[in-house]
Chains A and B, each alone.
Chain A
């Protein structure tokens, strides 16, 4: 098993470029956000001031760049400065995504395996999925563009940690990990985690926005966020999509454990935390259909779920020692 060191270095370069482009994109989105004028009271009470008529499914072909409804209602001129910044932010996000994708592909070729064999690659892949999921949301709901800064922020933090604390050089994986289950199980975990990141961000913003809607004097800046019901729906749909994928990841993990460790379930810390996260998300889905629990409480549960996922990624890999401690950090 040969490792191409030069190709690996090229991958690192791509990683840094992608991170840099994301930072720029986030800055542009932040400027966009700052330029958005607070919507007038009347519109606020309408709860849904933006994007009517661009509804995801109804046009189907809505494009990020020329969707007419992309203009927030609060900013009168059709191509306001805020919008220009927002569009540039989106373009840069797409560019960053392409570099990010290229980085993982290059890394995979360099190591001649799927590029998620250690925490550095794993975290990078989760971020890629999160940005990808965000671009899909943008494609279907261009009016949500103003959320860009909040989606990119956690992505940038995670990637920064990946590039510094977690960084490892390209290398093959230990025999215990050399199995096609690595590709299946870990891919599912990566995809689910990335989508759940988006759900978690939406739920945090939902809580802020809902607090503002209840008491308009609080968190005045939250008036620039999309309506609470929109945020709630994004969080729900992302979770409902990611939950079966996460379930699949847990099941394939058990199948792999049966082949590798002699039992399908052994309360290894990683397994336990994965189950805890699963149960918390089941709570969320239940809460969504229990009177008195949808809304705020459900959103809190969703945020807790994401906290458990992050805990699983960092704490369990780095601090607790278990069979999953292959993180290869150092």
Chain B
């Protein structure tokens, strides 16, 4: 916690560097670097750098929360975008330069905390400093006389100063003094605060290493999801040490979903009725399911996992009756293209049954694609006017041919492979708007019926073993900070001297002095009360006539802040005259 950097002490003079002196120089350099790094000024600059380095993360879109926004930005800024991208500006919080700043800051913090904690622990054992010679020069001071003798005055004052750390000393000539201190909790608070910062970082790191996050869409018709591995998810973000094995194998089924909307289409509430089994129950094969109502703002907490309801949408259900009488049901989620009206798009793909010939199969696969409107506008061009299922209708194209599912290329579940359409291997055979119960009959006699609509929900499963630690350290941080900003360190001194008959009426002259070592505003009142209780009229100067509150040490009479020159055996010094 040095604020000045000492000049390099060694190696300046003397002959060209020989072995040992070079070593000493290196040592000096290392020591100075360390001192510089742990100085208050460096901490300040690093803190400022941290703020500056984080700023692009607020102004520019970031890959972590919003990858699509980054793509948009890159498309709109073809020259600047890639440069920023190379410098990591779209992933600020994962860049080396951002990490460098906060790692240096935390090294500086630790280097600053350790000596400070030791020093503070030591200072708790050191007695309050001796009474300054001239109390009248202190910011707060008072004087009175008393008819009691100095010992009695000091004893009364000491009783009055309960809660303060006090020490009674004697000075030549029968003078008795008290030094009192209060407010060391400020320093404790400061240390707790800074230590909590370090612990907080540790807790965050645990989460980054051992946590994971996965998203999955589950049909709300009693479908089941089990946390058995990465493959169970639609997308999965593992921590650094997570390979997807050994997840807590809880299971859950989504039995139903209900959304309500206000008349203007704003969502009012979302609820999913789920049942779950924790990992233990799953493994023991028990058939006990616990019902739970999953809502926004209210995750399901099971084992070490949290399950969130992130969103919902619709899945139209189609029954295809082939000419030979066989039936296939198609039920797959369609994705909302307009969040306000939940107009959705998708592609329900169906393999004809009972066809063994590969070539024939590739001529007769079906896809039902198009738009779904939960509340249809009616008319030829279907669009949605409200997000609830008031008047559902689909506007579909039925395509027949080769869906390209065996091509080895990944394809979206929400659309057909446009390449197949372009090559003429997938051909539209019908286009129609249908309502639930409605049917399309294709040229070969195949009938497609729109049965109705299911809800789907998108769930997120999150696991973060560091989270509790982060919460606890955050609370400690707040507590420490509050202490350190509200507690004031202050000193109070009493000197009781036998009166010299010509000057005063009473037997003892009592002088009081007070000094706030931190933000001083407010001490005047307390000093006044103390002084009044001790029979003196407080002559506290006005608070705000004082110099800088945060750093009184340099601006007060030197003797006020001088630590006792000889600390060892403080009790001995109480009676230097051997009285």
Contact call B44/A283, Cβ cutoff below 8 A: yes
Cβ of A10 under 8 Å from chain B: no
Contact call B296/A293, Cβ cutoff below 8 A: no
Q: Which of A294-311 contact B (CB under 8 A)?
A: 294, 301, 308
Contact of A286 among B40, B66, B548 (CB under 8 A): B40
Using Cβ atoms and an 8 Å threshold, which residues of chain A touch B519? 236-237, 240
Cβ of B547 under 8 Å from chain A: yes
With A58-B543, A175-B297 known to touch, is A262 a contact of B460 (CB < 8 Å)? Answer: yes
Contact call B41/A293, Cβ cutoff below 8 A: yes
A248 to B4, CA, bound (A): 34
With A175-B296, A289-B551, A320-B59 known to touch, is A244 a contact of B485 (CB < 8 Å)? Answer: yes
Cβ of A31 under 8 Å from chain B: no
Contact call B40/A289, Cβ cutoff below 8 A: yes
Contact call A322/B48, Cβ cutoff below 8 A: no
Contact call B43/A286, Cβ cutoff below 8 A: yes
Using Cβ atoms and an 8 Å threshold, which residues of chain A touch B540? 58
Contact of B544 among A55, A171, A285, A289 (CB under 8 A): A55
Contact call A279/B58, Cβ cutoff below 8 A: no
Using Cβ atoms and an 8 Å threshold, which residues of chain B touch A56? 521-522, 543-544
Cβ of B355 under 8 Å from chain A: no
A229 to B544, CA, bound (A): 8
Contact call B296/A260, Cβ cutoff below 8 A: yes
A278 to B4, CA, bound (A): 27
A326 to B524, CA, bound (A): 48
**Which of A129-137, A200-208, A269-277 faces chain B?**
A269-277
Q: Which of B217-244 contact A (CB under 8 A)?
A: none
A interface SS class: helix
Mark each residue of chain B from 179 to 217: 1 if its CB lies under 8 Å from any CB of chain A, else 0.
Answer: 000000000000000000000000010000000010000
**Which of B11-19, B76-84, B471-479 faces chain A?**
B471-479
With A57-B525, A276-B54, A322-B65 known to touch, is A262 a contact of B44 (CB < 8 Å)? Answer: no
Cβ of A183 under 8 Å from chain B: no
With A229-B547, A267-B65, A290-B41 known to touch, is A58 a contact of B528 (CB < 8 Å)? Answer: yes
A130 to B159, CA, bound (A): 43
Q: How far is the CB of A73 from chain B (nearest CB, A)?
A: 14
With A240-B485, A244-B482 known to touch, is A320 a contact of B58 (CB < 8 Å)? Answer: yes
Using Cβ atoms and an 8 Å threshold, which residues of chain B touch A58? 524-525, 528, 540, 542-543
With A272-B54, A290-B3 known to touch, is A262 a contact of B48 (CB < 8 Å)? Answer: no
A274 to B350, CA, bound (A): 50
Q: How far is the CB of B187 from chain A (nearest CB, A)?
A: 12
A244 to B486, CA, bound (A): 10
**Which of A37-45, A99-107, A112-120, A251-259 faces chain B?**
A251-259
Cβ of A76 under 8 Å from chain B: no
Using Cβ atoms and an 8 Å threshold, which residues of chain A touch B462? 262-263
How many residues on the A side are at the interface (Cβ–Cβ under 8 A)?
Answer: 71
Contact of A288 among B93, B269, B296, B550 (CB under 8 A): B550
Using Cβ atoms and an 8 Å threshold, which residues of chain A touch B337? none
Closest to A319 in B: B59
Contact call B270/A316, Cβ cutoff below 8 A: no
Contact call B544/A230, Cβ cutoff below 8 A: yes
With A269-B58, A273-B58, A276-B51 known to touch, is A262 a contact of B308 (CB < 8 Å)? Answer: yes
Further contacts, 7 of them, CB under 8 A, given A269-B58, A279-B50: A55-B545, A176-B296, A241-B485, A259-B299, A262-B299, A279-B51, A279-B54
Chain A residues packing against B (C-beta within 8 Å)? 1, 48, 51-53, 55-58, 60, 141, 171-172, 174-176, 178-179, 181, 229-230, 232-233, 236-237, 240-241, 243-244, 247-248, 251, 254-255, 258-269, 272-273, 275-276, 279-280, 282-283, 285-294, 301, 308, 316, 320-323
Between A and B, 16 residue pairs with Cβ closer than 8 Å are A48-B545, A52-B542, A56-B521, A176-B296, A230-B544, A237-B519, A251-B474, A258-B306, A267-B64, A267-B92, A267-B93, A272-B58, A279-B54, A283-B51, A286-B43, A320-B61
Contact of B57 among A55, A230, A267, A291 (CB under 8 A): A267
Using Cβ atoms and an 8 Å threshold, which residues of chain A touch B481? 243-244, 247
Using Cβ atoms and an 8 Å threshold, which residues of chain B touch A254? 474
Contact call A236/B550, Cβ cutoff below 8 A: yes
How big is the B interface, by class?
Answer: 35 or more
Contact call B542/A55, Cβ cutoff below 8 A: yes
**Which of B260-268, B277-285, B373-381 faces chain A?**
B260-268
Using Cβ atoms and an 8 Å threshold, which residues of chain A touch B478? 244, 247-248, 251
Chain B residues packing against A (C-beta within 8 Å)? 3-4, 40-41, 43-44, 47-48, 50-51, 54-55, 57-59, 61-62, 64-66, 69, 92-93, 204, 213, 262, 266-270, 295-299, 306, 308, 310, 460, 462, 464, 467, 470-471, 474-475, 477-478, 481-482, 485, 519, 521-525, 528, 540, 542-545, 547-551
Using Cβ atoms and an 8 Å threshold, which residues of chain B touch A52? 542, 545
Contact call A53/B460, Cβ cutoff below 8 A: no
Using Cβ atoms and an 8 Å threshold, which residues of chain A touch B61? 320
Using Cβ atoms and an 8 Å threshold, which residues of chain A touch B65? 266-268, 322-323
With A247-B481, A251-B474, A262-B306 known to touch, is A57 a contact of B543 (CB < 8 Å)? Answer: yes
A273 to B462, CA, bound (A): 25
Using Cβ atoms and an 8 Å threshold, which residues of chain A touch B485? 240-241, 243-244, 285
Q: How far is the CB of B55 from chain A (nearest CB, A)?
A: 6
Contact of B297 among A176, A229, A293, A323 (CB under 8 A): A176
Closest to B267 in A: A175
Q: How far is the CB of A94 from chain B (nearest CB, A)?
A: 24
With A57-B522, A262-B460 known to touch, is A272 a contact of B66 (CB < 8 Å)? Answer: no
Closest to B69 in A: A321
Using Cβ atoms and an 8 Å threshold, which residues of chain B touch A280? 48, 51
Closest to B62 in A: A267
Contact call A57/B55, Cβ cutoff below 8 A: no
Q: How far is the CB of B183 from chain A (nearest CB, A)?
A: 15
Contact call B43/A237, Cβ cutoff below 8 A: no
Contact call A290/B528, Cβ cutoff below 8 A: no
With A243-B485, A269-B58 known to touch, is A294 a contact of B548 (CB < 8 Å)? Answer: yes
Contact of B471 among A255, A261, A272, A292 (CB under 8 A): A255
Closest to B270 in A: A175
Q: How far is the CB of B194 from chain A (nearest CB, A)?
A: 11
Closest to A1 in B: B268
Using Cβ atoms and an 8 Å threshold, which residues of chain B touch A293? 41, 44
Using Cβ atoms and an 8 Å threshold, which residues of chain B touch A48? 544-545
A251 to B310, CA, bound (A): 22
Contact call B543/A291, Cβ cutoff below 8 A: no
Could you say which of B299, B544, B550 has the most chain A C-beta atoms within 10 Å of its C-beta? B544
Contact call B297/A53, Cβ cutoff below 8 A: no
Q: Which 3 A-B pairs have the closest CB atoms?
A: A57-B525, A55-B542, A272-B58
Contact call B44/A290, Cβ cutoff below 8 A: yes
Contact call A272/B57, Cβ cutoff below 8 A: yes
A321 to B65, CA, bound (A): 11
Closest to B204 in A: A265
Q: How far is the CB of A323 from chain B (nearest CB, A)?
A: 8
Closest to A288 in B: B550
Contact call B69/A262, Cβ cutoff below 8 A: no
Q: How far is the CB of A133 from chain B (nearest CB, A)?
A: 16
A176 to B266, CA, bound (A): 12
A55 to B541, CA, bound (A): 9
Using Cβ atoms and an 8 Å threshold, which residues of chain A touch B522? 56-57
Q: How far is the CB of A142 from chain B (nearest CB, A)?
A: 13
Q: How far is the CB of A249 from chain B (nearest CB, A)?
A: 11
A316 to B548, CA, bound (A): 36
Using Cβ atoms and an 8 Å threshold, which residues of chain A touch B48? 279-280, 283, 301
Using Cβ atoms and an 8 Å threshold, which residues of chain A touch B467? 258, 264
A51 to B295, CA, bound (A): 58
A117 to B41, CA, bound (A): 41
Contact call A57/B64, Cβ cutoff below 8 A: no
Contact of B525 among A60, A232, A255 (CB under 8 A): A60
Contact call B524/A57, Cβ cutoff below 8 A: yes
Using Cβ atoms and an 8 Å threshold, which residues of chain A touch B58? 269, 272-273, 276, 316, 320
Contact call B550/A289, Cβ cutoff below 8 A: yes
